[in-house]
Structure 1
Amino acid sequence: MRKIAATALLTAVAAAGIAPASAGADPNATGPAATAGSVNMEKVVKAAMWDPYKPNQSIVPGAGTSVTKVEKALASKGLLAGKYVDGHFGTSTVDAYAKYQRSLGYSGLAASGLPGKGSLTKLGGDAGFDVTRKIEVGGKVRLGSGDVLNRRTLNMYEEAEKISGIDMTVTQGSYTGSNPGSAGTHDGGGAIDISVRGINARKAVKALRQVGFAAWHRTAEQGDWAPHIHAIAISDTDVSPAAQKQVGAYFLGKNGLASGAPDDGPKVEKVTWEQYKRGK
């Protein structure tokens, strides 16, 4: 058991982010740079996590305009067919965005098709749109237990502890590489497992969901593992594709497992960390 409190010793192990693109275009200019407006990164990332797993082509509320601008920019680069410029960030748009990321030199999880701040800012610089509501995951932080989280995930975890009054114990952090027992969900950022020993698991899951995690209580009956809470930070731009799929399942009211069973956790409004902070 590896115990940490909200004030655990932390060691910064990496810096985050990529320098933004150069200053905006001349306001007197004509063409795309003068008319493209802005793209809300929060909306785009939420759509990129949810849309590929929907059974239909519905638009994430409020995301259509921003997603369409991203799709138009990808289409202008010959990466996306015009018929997919529709405001729905489905698999074709994910594939096109991954190609764009690779064209910038990204690879691995950094080229999964999930827009990050650096690539989206660069795309906006080319297409003439500004990026608003940027998501910052922060640098990697090593906890006293040895587990690693990015700063955004750590802040979310600590807030869940605070609002629940539960001192939670991390049993697995993020960026763990290929862990066979995790099916790839902990390969990237935003992933955390928490012990349920001696705590009210449902209350803890509710608090984690309230601050922006897709979280579930995993029981021994569900798989070959010890009972625990599994959580993925919604809209964390470092998450692995397997974790993205679980977030999509959460939005669809499912348990995030291969069974695709209904979600049996506490019902709360599904929000991101950024939305939670604005509502405090």
Structure 2
Amino acid sequence: MSKIKIGDIVKDLEKLALVQEKLNQAEGRESKGYRQAYPPASEFAIRALEKKLKFRFPPSYRAFLNIHNGWKGFHNDVAVFGVSGIGYTRPVADFNQYLKMLQKGPKTADESADALRKKEQVDEKTIYLPDHVPLATDFNGIYWVFDRNRKRKDGEYPIAEVLYGQNVEFRTKNFLEFVKRAIAQAQNELESEKKSHKGEEKRQEKMVEQRKRKFDGKMFVFAGTLAGMNKKDALDYVKEAGGIVSNTLDKKTSYLVFGNGKKDGKRVIAAKKLGVRVLAEQQFYDLLFKVRKKK
């Protein structure tokens, strides 16, 4: 059985942090928001917790604590516990409280500690809760626990995924493998985000092209003041959609847009005589909305 190298843990944690930083940037998140690794835990704090739990942490997890005293957003919604009160250490107490509740509850033939121990020997999907030390949790009530009954020669413990202490969904050989799994998931998220971003860029490019073609060759004349939009913005929108803006009303004009002017004003009457389509302000917005909606 090969011994885990602490350097491997350090490198993988650095790799995970780098991938998550890229993922933060791709998602537009701040680094110390959704995902955050905390500063190192002190050796005193680590030993104090080991004494309290009566459990010697495996070397790989100790190496983690020497670098990060907890990690929020370790992968997906999973938070790895630290030893102090910062971050997501509170679920440890919650989990232990849950264990006490089970132990104090009514004991039936199927729920007794002895029955659970016997069942564990024949069914790998059932575990005896007090023999497991939680190291991480997520928002769905899933816990990742060290199985202290299966200590390896190198001092490592396998990690089991359990739902409120019920069923083992999977086991990893050790904390290093747990970290590698987090890296793989973060990389998959990053690749998906990149593909999504490229797809969005293409969609935006297509939107611009469609807008440009929609008003291609159409001439607009504006009369009066628009109540709901700055006139300059309105002109820019028309130009963006490939339209032409003019101050001269003639047979080449496609639309006359009148704002606060009268419906029977001189320019409106002149436009109708020329066969130019007259648009009230809201009609212009409706036409513009349809153009910009087709993206």
Same fold (TM over 0.5): no
Larger RCO, structures 1/2 (Cα 8 Å, 6+ apart): 1
Higher helix share: 2
Q: Which has the larger radius of gyration?
A: 2
What is the TM-score of this pair, normalised by structure 2? 0.22
